[in-house]
Amino acid sequence: MKRVVITGAGTINALAHDVPGTLEAFREGRCGISELDIRDKDRLSIQIGGQVHNWDPEAHFNRQQIVLYDKFTQFTLLAAREAVSQSGLNFDGHLGYETGVVLGTAGGGVNTWDENYRAVYEEGKNRVHPFVVPKLMNNAAASHLSMEFNLKGPSFSVATACASSNHAMGMAFHMIRSGMVQAMLTGGSESMLCFGGIKAWEGLRVMSKDACRPFSLNRNGMVQGEGAAVFVFEEYEHARQRGAEILAEVAGFAMTSDAADIVMPSKQGAARAISGALRDARISGDSVGYINAHGTGTAANDKTECAAVADVFGPHADRLMISSTKSMHGHLIGGTGAVELLACIMALRDGLIAPTIGYEEPDPECALDVVPNTAREAKVDVALSNAFAFGGLNAVLALRRV
Amino acid sequence: MTVSVKDRVIAIIAEQAVLDPSDVKMDSTLESLGIDSLGLVESIFSIEEAFDISVPFNANEPTQSDFDISSVAAIVRAVEDLVAQKG
C-alpha cells in the first residue's frame, strides 16, 4: 500500500479568502458568522450565516467563465488554485493522466436552481439561460477543476449531505493508496446561502437565530455557512522525490452507516467510524491528540458525538482535545469537512488547536476538553476529523504529523 | 358549525400518531402517543398551515420554547393563544 500525503491546501470561507487568513482567524478565535446579505432576507426567520463577504467573481474569472460557474464552482476553483500553487505540481505532462478530482457537495449549484425557479415561477418567465444545467449539476465543480488543471484521471463528485467532503477525501485517499493514481485534487464546496437554501433548513427547526455554540449547554442549533476547501493529496514517494513540502499524512479513513434514522444521529455509527479510522491507520487511540468535531451546535449531534468519543477512547477521551470550528465559519454542509481539515493540519504542523468559540456553559453530556473560546498550543501527533451526515452516513479521517 | 381549535389540533396529532382522534386524550403526552422529534416538527408544521399561525419552536430547546408541548391540553391551549393573538 502507498502512503498518502497532503502537499497543498486552499480555501475560501466566511473567515477569509485563503488558508493563511483562515488559520489566523482560527488562532484568534474570530467569528465569521454575520448578518446575511441576500435577496428576500425579510421573509426568512433565520437572519445570520457564515457568508463569504466581499466576493468579487470578476476579479478571478472572465465573463465567459462566470456564465458557466455557479458560486459553488467559483469557490472551488479559487481554493484549488491556492492548493495547486502551494503544491508546486504541474499536470500538463504525464502526471495529468495520473491525477483526478473527487469533490464533495451536498447541493451543487443551489443558487442557480434558486435564481431560475424564481424566474419561471415567481416572474412567470418561460425561458431560462442555456447554461442552467451545466451550471447547477453537482459535478460541475469537479469537471471545471479537471479542465483548469488538465486532470485526466478518475474524477467525480460525492453527495452525502454533511459528510460529503470527508467521503470525497476518503475516496481520494483510497485511490492513491491503492496505486490507482499519483495525486488527487479533493475537498468540497457548498453555496446554499440563498432564499430557498435557507428556507429549506428553517423548516427542520434546528437552526439557531443568534449563534453556533457547539457543546455549550445553552446551544440552540446550527448556523449555515458557505465556501470551499481543496487539497492536493499525493503519493508519499512522489512528493518526497520532488522535495515537496508535506503538510500532513493522511493515515486512515473509515465510513459507516447507522441504518437507523434519516435525521437523528447514532452513537454506535459514529463510534464505529472513529474506531475504524484508527484501525485503518494502525494508530492506537492514545496517540490521538486532537479531534475536529462534527460539532454542529444542535442538541442531538453534540451529545451523541461526545458519547461516541468517550466510548471509543475510554479514559483517554478526557486527555484529548476536541473542538468545533463551525462556531467560527458555520456549517458548510457538503463543504464542511474540507474547511475543517485545515484545523487538523494546523494542529499537526503549527501545534495550535483551533478553539470552539461561543462556548458559555458546560454541558454534563459534553464533558470533554472542547478548547473553549481560546486557541491553545499543544504538540499533536495524530488528529481526526469527524463528519456525521443526515441519513446516518459517517466518515472519519485520521491525519498524522510528518 | 365550525370545528373547534381543540378538535382540529387533536385531528392533526391523531393523524401523526396514526390513531383514531378518540384515542388522543387531553392528558396524553406526545411521547405516550408514539410521536418522536421528527413527528413533532411535522405536527407543528401542520398546525401552522391549518391555523395560518407561526409557532415559536426550536427543536434544540423544546422545553424552553414559549410553545408548551408537555401534553395535548398544553398544545391546544398554546394554539388557542396564538390564534387569539392573530385576532
Complete DSSP assignment for A300-325: HHHHHHHHHHHHHHGGGGGTSEEE-T
- Residue B84 above 90 pLDDT? yes
Q: In Å, how far from its chain's centre is CA A324?
A: 12
> How many other CB atoms sit within 10 Å of the CB of residue A41?
14
Cβ atoms A389, A266 nearer than 8 A: no
Is the Cβ pair A219, B60 closer than 8 Å? yes
Average pLDDT over residues A270-285: 98
**A303 part of contact set with chain B, CB < 8 Å:** no
Partner A, chain B 18-57, Cβ-Cβ below 8 Å: 37-38, 41, 44-45, 57
Domain ranges of chain B: 5-86
**What confidence category does residue B63 fall into, taking pLDDT thresholds of 50, 70 and 90?**
confident
Cβ atoms A32, A328 nearer than 8 A: yes
Residues 6+ apart with CB under 8 A from B17: B24, B33, B34, B35, B39
- Residue A105 above 70 pLDDT? yes
Q: How much is the pLDDT for B73?
A: 97
Show the DSSP H helices in A1-159 as ranges. Answer: 19-28, 63-66, 71-87, 110-117, 132-136, 140-149
- Residue A119 above 60 pLDDT? yes
C-alpha grid cell for residue A400?
498524522
Partner B, chain A 207-246, Cβ-Cβ below 8 Å: 207-208, 219-221
Collect all residues of chain A within an 8 Å Cβ-Cβ radius of residue B58.
205-208, 220-221
Q: How much is the pLDDT for B1?
A: 52
pLDDT digits (tens, 9 = 90+) for A296-313: 999 999 999 999 999 999
Class of the CATH-defined domain B5-86: mainly alpha
- Residue B2 above 80 pLDDT? no
H or E element in which residue B46 lies: helix B37-51
Helices A19-28 and A336-350, interaxial angle, to 10°? 70
Through-space distance between the first and last CA atoms of chain B, rounded to whole angstroms: 20
Q: How much is the pLDDT for B87?
A: 75
Weakest-pLDDT range from A66-80, A137-151, B62-76:
B62-76
Is the Cβ pair B38, A262 closer than 8 Å? yes
Among candidates A166, A106, A91, which has minimal Cα distance to A138?
A106
Which domains, from first to last, does chain A contain? 4-241 (3.40.47.10), 253-400 (3.40.47.10)
Instruction: Output phi, psi for A74, to 5 deg.
Output: -60, -50
Adjacent-strand bridge partners of A231: A9, A186
- Residue A275 above 90 pLDDT? yes
pLDDT digits (tens, 9 = 90+) for A26-54: 999 999 999 999 999 999 999 999 999 99
Average pLDDT over residues B76-81: 96
Is the Cβ pair B60, A204 closer than 8 Å? no
The C-alpha of B35 sits at a distance from chain A's nearest C-alpha, in angstroms, of 14
The C-alpha of A210 sits at a distance from chain B's nearest C-alpha, in angstroms, of 12
Among candidates A88, A103, A80, which has minimal Cα distance to A10?
A80
Average pLDDT score over chain A: 98
Nearest CA in chain B to A218: B61
What percent of chain A stands above pLDDT 70? 100
pLDDT digits (tens, 9 = 90+) for B6-48: 999 999 999 999 999 999 999 999 999 999 989 999 999 999 9
Adjacent-strand bridge partners of A368: none
Collect all residues of chain A within an 8 Å Cβ-Cβ radius of residue B57.
205
**What confidence category does residue B64 fall into, taking pLDDT thresholds of 50, 70 and 90?**
confident
Among candidates A114, A159, A117, which has minimal Cα distance to A140?
A159
- Residue A326 above 80 pLDDT? yes
Collect all residues of chain B within an 8 Å Cβ-Cβ radius of residue A219.
60
* Radius of gyration of the CA atoms of chain B, in A: 12
